[in-house]
Amino acid sequence: MIIPAIDLQDGCVVRFVQGRLNKKVYSRDPVKTAKHWVKQGAKLIHIVDLDGAFTGAPKNLGAVKEIISNINVPVQFGGGVRSIDTIKALLKAGVRRVVLGTKAVEDKAFLKRAYSEFDDRVIVSIDAKAGIVQVKGWKASAKGLDMLSFAKTLKGIGFKEVIYTDTTKDGTLSGPNIMGIKGLLKATGLKVIASGGVSKLEDLYKLRKLKDHGLTGVIVGKALYEGKFTLTQAIKLAE
């Protein structure tokens, strides 16, 4: 599945490079952006609340609710989700699946409870730099926590699928970390949604080869916003 990303900051659609460098605003109308991706064939929209990721609590829920009420495809949402109550509120608001990051890394009891209560309505995003898990909007590393060790912990709890982002690739248009994705698939047997670095259709062609190994989706952001290819072209290639 090709999944377009909508990164929100201050109610606007933006893209960062590696989480914070060189921010660019692409739209001040997130609903219009979401409708555009749906029109081009999106079956799922990936929304990140960047304000939430940096501060520890979602800040763009108004925009998210508006998107959900204006499109007919599911939304997965992450960024600052650090309590069970927040997960409940997001699911009640219509979010199909909630993405967990920092809190899932730092609090195993929370992680276990989230999985036991919500099962596949929650998914963990493993954001890594040189194989080390990153937290708090990628501003800090998780005390040397190796991403494969963390992934195996997730599998032990019961998770069957994860999102994996190489933070050094995100927003760079430098190509995905295919070796990292392969390593994660092989070492864990988890299903993986890959994110970060896609720059051209050729990248998606290479990633498609990992489908039989458990790659279930690719989140694409900057390449779409910069017009490197259309979502329609990407979906056609993936299928």
C-alpha to C-alpha distance for 205 and 174, rounded to whole angstroms? 15
Instruction: Give the pLDDT band of residue 9 (cuts 50, 70, 90).
Output: very high
Mean pLDDT of 217-224: 97
Residue 78, domain CATH: 3.20.20.70
The total of other beta-carbon atoms located within 10 Å of residue 22's CB is: 10
Nearest to residue 133, comparing CAs of 111, 116, 113, 118?
111
Tell me the pLDDT tens digit for each residue of 174-209.
899 999 999 999 999 999 999 999 999 999 999 999
Residue 107 annotated among the catalytic residues of the structure: no
Question: Are 159 and 190 contacting, i.e. CB atoms less than 8 angstroms apart?
Answer: yes
Residue 85 is among the residues annotated as catalytic for this protein? no
Q: What does the pLDDT read at residue 138?
A: 53
116-135 pLDDT, tens digit each: 999 999 999 999 998 899 98
pLDDT of residue 23: 79
Give me the residues paired with residue 123 across strands: 99
Catalytic annotation, pick one of 49, 51, 127, 170: 127
Q: Tell me the average pLDDT across 211-224.
A: 97
| Three-class SS state of 96 | coil
The pLDDT assigned to 140 comes to 55
Q: What's 131's DSSP letter? A: T
The total domain count for the chain is: 1
pLDDT in tens, 49-102: 999 988 989 999 999 999 999 999 999 999 999 999 999 999 999 999 999 999
Query: Once rounded to an integer, what is the mean pLDDT over residues 197-226?
Result: 97
Task: Give the burial class of 17: count Cβ atoms within 10 A of its Cβ; 0-12 exposed, 13-18 middle, 19 or more buried.
Answer: middle
pLDDT band at 139 (very low <50, low <70, confident <90, very high): low
Higher local confidence (pLDDT), 70 or 143: 70
This prediction has a pTM of 0.94
pLDDT of residue 87: 98
Question: Whole domain around residue 50: which residue ranges?
Answer: 2-238
Average pLDDT, the chain: 94
Instruction: Quote the CA–CA distance of 60 and 54 in Å, as a whole number.
Output: 12
Helix axes 201-208, 231-238, angle to 10 degrees: 20
**Residue 210 pLDDT exceeds 90:** yes
Give CA separation, 153 vs 11, 114, 174, 203, in Å: 35, 14, 30, 29
